[in-house]
Amino acid sequence: MTKGLILKLNCPDQQGIVAKIANYVAGHAGNLIEFAQFSDSLGGKFFARLEIDTQALDVEIHDFIEGFGTLGRSLRADWHFRALPYRMKTAVLVTKTDHCLNEILWRAQMGELPVEITSIIGNRDFCKDLSERYRIPFHLIEMDGAERENGFRQIKQILDRENVELAVLARFMQILPDWFCDAYHGRLINIHHSFLPAFIGANPYRQAYERGVKLIGATCHYVTNELDAGPIIEQEVERVQHFHSPQDLARLGRNCERTALAKGIRYHVHDRTIIDGNRAIVFPD
């Protein structure tokens, strides 16, 4: 991967933003590989994601980043730089099913996701064999009944000790406490096995069957204090028929879950998402 920087930025929409940013990059002999932008006319906001080749910069990268502050402040912007190449430290939380975990591990092994999976954390041991196959540490955390709060405290200790930048709930069937969601705001991704906002909570395939839906889906979203209501990153759907049982819906839905989660993780780790209130702005690759 070419040595460079990713810049994410959002600010009030105004004239000349693109030109000012492009001129700053060109002024230091940087080369714009990508400049994806979105002007939200309803909200009056501007969002952008840039990839910059820094091989020919006329200043040190640190000075380039620091120098951007003058422009960023003049735009009243929030911005973030990430140096390339990199691998994002990621932990995966699981319960029983392993199809989503399998997808993550396979894509990481293939080099499609720039992640370093530091550990797999489960409140059941169903995925322990898979973690051992990939030689990734597995932590079994007791969370039943009165142990639930202490279990989340243990998980936080693991994430903090491993300097985890992203935690993925790969069918982790636990409701997270508010303090945990707050501690990792914008760094928790969940896969929900329905096309949100329909059928939140437990047993969505049974709910979908009882409503006689013609489409089922899966939603990859950021986790917030409100159950299954965080900013949506990616969704996938599958057409179903009246003769499909709840088990058939679950079988078909697993494909949606795997694809939506893989795409959502990819967008996040490539800094292609910007959280804007209750929604996520996504710049697909």
SS3 262: helix
Cα angle 225, 226, 229 (rounded to 5 degrees) comes to 125
Question: In the structure encoding, which two tokens stand for residue 15, read together?
Answer: 């004239």
Compute the distance between CA of residue 246 and CA of residue 266 in angstroms, rounded to an integer. Answer: 30
Would strands 215-222 and 232-239 be described as parallel, antiparallel, or unpaired? antiparallel
Q: Of 144, 228, 248, 271, which is the active-site residue?
A: 228
Question: In the structure encoding, which two tokens stand for residue 281, read together?
Answer: 């702005």
Question: In the structure encoding, which two tokens stand for residue 104, read together?
Answer: 């993550």
Q: For the packed helices 204-211 and 246-269, what is the interaxial angle rounded to 10 degrees?
A: 120
Is the bond leading into 231 cis (omega within 30 degrees of zero)?
A: no
Compute the distance between CA of residue 112 and CA of residue 154 in angstroms, rounded to an integer. Answer: 30
Tell which phi-psi region holds residue 271, choosing left (phi > 0), alpha (psi between -120 and 50) or beta.
left
Question: In the structure encoding, which two tokens stand for residue 270, read together?
Answer: 């490539």
Catalytic status, residue 160: no
Alpha helix segments (H runs only) across 75-198: 99-109, 128-133, 148-161, 178-183
Quickly count helices (H) and strands (E) in the chain: 8, 13
C-beta separation of 280 from 232 below 8 A: yes
Compute the distance between CA of residue 225 and CA of residue 185 in angstroms, rounded to an integer. Answer: 9
The residues annotated with a catalytic role in the active site are 228
